[in-house]
Amino acid sequence: MKIGAFSPEIRLKTVEAVFEEASRMGFTQMQYDFATSHGEEMPADFHPGELERIASAGRLYGIEILAVNGTFNMIDTDLASRKEHIKRFERIAFACRALGCGIVTLCTGSRSKKSMWAWDPDTSSEAAWSDLIETTRQILPFAEQYDICLGVETEASNVVCTLERTRRYLDEIGSPRLKVIMDCANLFPAGTARVENVKPTIRKAFDLLGRDIILAHGKDVCASETIRFTYPGNGIVDYDFYFNLLKEYHYDKGLILHGIHGEEEFEPAIRVMREKLDRAGL
């Protein structure tokens, strides 16, 4: 299995430098965030030549762009902001195809005023759920138009915060364009990140969602009463178990490493993931 980088975690100043460094470290795939080239994740539009520059850098350094980020607060109570981001999502979907990839990532959103990645009790309300469904139905035509899939993760701070809600979301939308990004580190809300919970939780995730996985993430979480993410191989996620389940469900795409917060963390993360993928026969 190929290993990919998450572009914002390679903190260099130019697109070319980011792809060159990814290649030097041994990555052959990437999940791309337009903040790398445009200073913001969802630009309003792209000037002539900008997307070709990114695609050319990928080709030059042998990096396949596997997915692009299209995350915005899908249940934002600021309706004007939500409408603007839905409009921008069409441009992200267009860019995705222009870069030769077929996945745009989602953030199902939060009612928090601080961040779409912060929890607020109203996020679990039926009104928030209805907003999510409405927004999803507005962006689905872009997925169909540009022949892409939308990737959703279970996220403790978002509307889709449990495995059961992820399954409900897929079933209620009922579109083959909506798929799952499996990130096992995200499956442990505050107070549950304990070693004894790891295998049962990952097993349940695959039982509910395994046939809908379109992308696998490699991120980790520390044993803690709070949520403390870390680089893959440095936490409690059982990667041998995770990779054997990916093999069982015939997943054949890449593994995007995530949760790397310092340059010194790349080498151990890549080394450990390669060792475990080899052990799993992937």
If phi over 0 gives left and psi between -120 and 50 gives alpha, with beta otherwise, what is residue 257?
Answer: beta
The CA-atom distances, in angstroms, between 153 and each of 19, 107, 158, 170, 182 are 25, 8, 9, 11, 6
Whole-number pLDDT of residue 226: 93
Per-residue burial over 257-282, b = 16 or more CB atoms within 10 Å of its CB, e = otherwise: bbbbeeeebbeebbebbeebbeebeb
Give the three-class secondary structure for 141. Answer: helix
**What ranges do the domains of the chain cover?**
3-279
| Cα–Cα–Cα angle for 29, 35, 38, rounded to 5 degrees | 115
**pLDDT confidence of residue 97:** 85
Dihedral (C-alpha) 223, 29, 155, 8: value to the nearest 10 degrees? 90
Cα distances (angstroms) measured from residue 154 to each of 4, 91, 109, 185: 20, 25, 11, 10
Rounded CA-CA distance 279/148 in Å is: 32
Q: How many Å apart are CA 235 and CA 227, to the nearest integer?
A: 11
Spacing of C-alpha 70 from chain mean position: 10
The token duo for 107 is 């953030």
Select from 127, 245, 126, 226 the least CA-distant residue to 184: 245
Amino acid identity at 134: E
The H or E element containing residue 149 is strand 149-152
Round to whole Å and give the CA distance between 105 and 171: 18
* Sign for the pseudo-dihedral over CA of 114, 117, 123, 129: positive
Find how far residue 185's CA is from the centre of its chain: 12
C-beta separation of 160 from 135 below 8 A:
no
Residue 251: predicted pLDDT: 97
Question: What tens-digit pLDDT sequence spans the chain (282 residues)?
Answer: 999 999 999 999 999 999 999 999 999 999 999 999 999 999 999 999 999 999 999 999 999 999 999 999 999 999 999 999 999 999 999 999 899 999 999 999 999 999 999 999 999 999 999 999 999 999 999 999 999 999 999 999 999 999 999 999 999 999 999 999 999 999 999 999 999 999 999 999 999 999 999 999 999 999 999 999 999 999 999 999 999 999 999 999 999 999 999 999 999 999 999 999 999 999
Best CATH choice for the domain 3-279 from the list 3.40.30.10, 1.10.260.40, 3.30.360.10, 3.20.20.150 = 3.20.20.150
